[in-house]
Structure 1
């Protein structure tokens, strides 16, 4: 029996209760590392679930795609980390990172089993969308009024001038997380079949929230999420697709121009990026990219020196100066925590084995996506698009291996797998 002919039950209080609990990691992201608390509780629950699965392995459904794909993707990422450990340049750092990953896997296991049991993915997508909508509203208000709804000023200590930070306790994370999670409200609207006016109003608010964050990585992630959204909502249903294909880019340019007038952070980003267009030199490109050329070349030098298993995962910060090119201009007082590019970070940290494992993880998720029913794919979009843009090869911000992004990666992976294999699909 397929998802198409299984009757969809009405939403129950249990569904909403589980959705509230699973939305807590997203809701708590602005408050330091408090989001780890509910994820830690899920890891403990996942341990008991794993013991239960092993005790009843004789009755275990070996054809369950969710419980096939989740461990495979985890191992594709984790095993190269272990291989990089024996001759790592900073072995204690690799040991610290690799030892935490099994806990993240237990958390992911609990998420998959709970969501599969309650079919609460749709409710979770709705709650997550409201949370991201609040972030967007708060950031836009902070930019326009100079202060947000919690009386947090736009310019304060520890914040890049003019960059909206909302109520994030680590202010410079607002733009990144807005760019990553902005896909959730967009594709939840598509999932729920809302009217065109709601699409326009919410997508405008979310786009403005991403722009005022003035984070290059956030902009890049959101741009990749926006393309399939615009296609599914405006271009594909249109009788004359050429009209939205011409109008939508103009509207986006106009919105960017308006944001440019009000956001000093966006003005600063554009000014810095334009520096490279005047003279294509190493120095101008490096300045325009906030030192990325130096950072990328250091990562590439790590790859060349350790091509098989890398220098050890999450060791870039401790070792990058030894691999900087001669013309590098990074002050001694400045530290670089990671390679600022997904492929280079995985490749330099875990070598070619790590890169191969990363590509296998992509392939496993792609295969699951192709095997899923249309209703399951639609249900998974609010979760799998943020994961895809986070894993996208040109993503330029945040590390792949540090605990914060690592646990969020497996959390979004679990949400995606649960939705793609959910038996009872409710799309409207």
Structure 2
């Protein structure tokens, strides 16, 4: 049901923002609403319907600068100029879309319905994963041999990271609708798909979301520890059942337990070779300290800095691992210390905007903000933030975060950009 303060003529911009998420499992299809929103933003800017000088627009420009300028600077000494400069060019599309999102969601009355819609979409993806667990098939087709792949398909194993990162929308929507009991049930609903999707980075991200939400709900050390104990027992029980009943999940756990042997080789095997990739990323960073090897140039520089007989080096094509699999090492190896400084500045700007916002704005921004924390938490492994797909999700969340902090109870602007 559309709130009385939100007319049907003003609903379509919010639907374009939501369409990016709906089409996310379908490869590059999500680029279409992203492009439409970006074009609309350019029209709005030309007609002064979006003021690039206001506080929120300046925040968007500043955050984008902290993301894009490292890529730009890395291009001048890139190891693969064509790939880096093309990435610099295509990432420009995120800026107008972020401005469009802030404009589209400027009315605070839209946020309750929007958060519920996002939560419903992510919950449906989780239910689809349950169907795949039971039948072997989902909307994305047959399950991958070792993991539940869900709606994303066996060739695109992103179900776990996406469910974990977007889980705050499901959990907070359930909390708003059904109280703490709904929050607990929603948390349990997401546990099995995230565990069986097989991404250990997703397990850590979801655990982080659970810890932060537990503190948000309790705000008392004793109650907080009690909730954490209950969470640990519950997840441990579910994990033990999955280990016993699922050979796919058991294999992931047994590989992870190799790290307990303590040797470098065992830790590297437990981390699926991540230790080798991280050593190589550090070697790249040492050789290119200022601006790195260039965004998306990691795979091309990899063979020159990898150890002999590195498993990720393809001697036929002379390329290696696609990215550093860790946000700090990705930024450091591809954009250097200058890039890392920009990213730290961006994190500070985002936090400062939160600190300066009022209680209502923080409540709106809590879900996308918590999702960004889960996505960027540095003590984890990560997908590539300068890639087309993960970078798009990252900027979709950043745009929602900025829009949530800027939304107002009323707006006098005309609803349509044309």
Q: Does the pair score TM above 0.5?
A: yes
Counterparts in 2 of 1:151 and 1:94: CA distance versus 1, 3 Å: closer
Contact 2:312 2:321 in 1 (8 A): no
Secondary structure of the residue aligned to 2:141 is coil
1:266 to 233, 249, 253: 249
Counterparts in 2 of 1:416 and 1:180: CA distance versus 1, 3 Å: same
**What is the distance in 2 between the residues matched to 1:223 and 1:213?**
15
Secondary structure of the residue aligned to 1:34 is helix
Determine if the alignment matches structure 1 residue 101 to structure 2 residue 83: no
**Shift of the alpha carbon at 1:165?**
0.7
Q: What is residue 380 of structure 1 aligned with on the other side? A: 365
Determine if the alignment matches structure 1 residue 417 to structure 2 residue 402: yes
**What is the distance in 1 between the residues matched to 2:310 and 2:117?**
46
Determine if the alignment matches structure 1 residue 201 to structure 2 residue 161: no
Counterparts in 2 of 1:238 and 1:194: CA distance versus 1, 3 Å: farther
Counterparts in 2 of 1:10 and 1:251: CA distance versus 1, 3 Å: farther
Q: What is residue 223 of structure 1 aligned with on the other side? A: 207
Q: What is residue 133 of structure 1 aligned with on the other side? A: 123
**What is the distance in 2 between the residues matched to 1:147 and 1:124?**
29
**What is the distance in 1 between the residues matched to 2:380 and 2:4?**
39
1:168-209 Cα distance to aligned partner (Å, 9 max, x none): 14431222212221222112334x252333222222111222
1:27 to 1, 22, 29: 22
1:171 to 139, 152, 156: 156
Contact 2:297 2:334 in 1 (8 A): yes
Question: Unaligned stretches of 5+ in structure 1?
Answer: 1-7
Greater Cα shift, 286-295 or 100-109: 100-109
Determine if the alignment matches structure 1 residue 152 to structure 2 residue 141: yes
Secondary structure of the residue aligned to 1:338 is coil
**What is the distance in 2 between the residues matched to 1:20 and 1:381?**
21
Secondary structure of the residue aligned to 1:86 is helix
- Cα RMSD, aligned residues only: 2.5
Greater Cα shift, 104-113 or 322-331: 322-331
Secondary structure of the residue aligned to 2:364 is helix
Contact 1:302 1:311 in 2 (8 A): yes
Counterparts in 2 of 1:367 and 1:203: CA distance versus 1, 3 Å: same
Q: Compare relative contact order (CA 8 Å, sep 6+) and give the higher one, 1 or 2.
A: 1
Determine if the alignment matches structure 1 residue 301 to structure 2 residue 286: no
2:55 to 47, 50, 65: 65
**What is the distance in 1 between the residues matched to 2:8 and 2:246?**
42
**What is the distance in 2 between the residues matched to 1:301 and 1:267?**
34
Q: What is residue 324 of structure 2 aligned with on the other side? A: 339
Count residues with an aligned counterpart.
404
Greater Cα shift, 343-352 or 244-253: 244-253
Equivalent residues in 2 for 1:273-352, closer than 5 Å: 273-277=256-260, 279-326=261-308, 328-330=310-312, 332=314, 335-352=320-337
Counterparts in 2 of 1:61 and 1:18: CA distance versus 1, 3 Å: closer
Question: Unaligned stretches of 5+ in structure 2?
Answer: 411-418
**Shift of the alpha carbon at 1:317?**
1.4
1:333-354 Cα distance to aligned partner (Å, 9 max, x none): 7842111000000011110000
**What is the distance in 2 between the residues matched to 1:255 and 1:13?**
44
1:211 to 195, 209, 229: 195
Contact 1:19 1:127 in 2 (8 A): no
Q: What is residue 236 of structure 1 aligned with on the other side? A: 219
Q: Where in structure 1 do 4 or more consecutive aligned residues deviate above 6 Å?
A: none
Equivalent residues in 2 for 1:101-120, closer than 5 Å: 101-117=91-107, 119-120=109-110
Secondary structure of the residue aligned to 2:343 is helix
**What is the distance in 1 between the residues matched to 2:239 and 2:360?**
34
**What is the distance in 1 between the residues matched to 2:147 and 2:107?**
42
1:40 to 35, 39, 43: 35
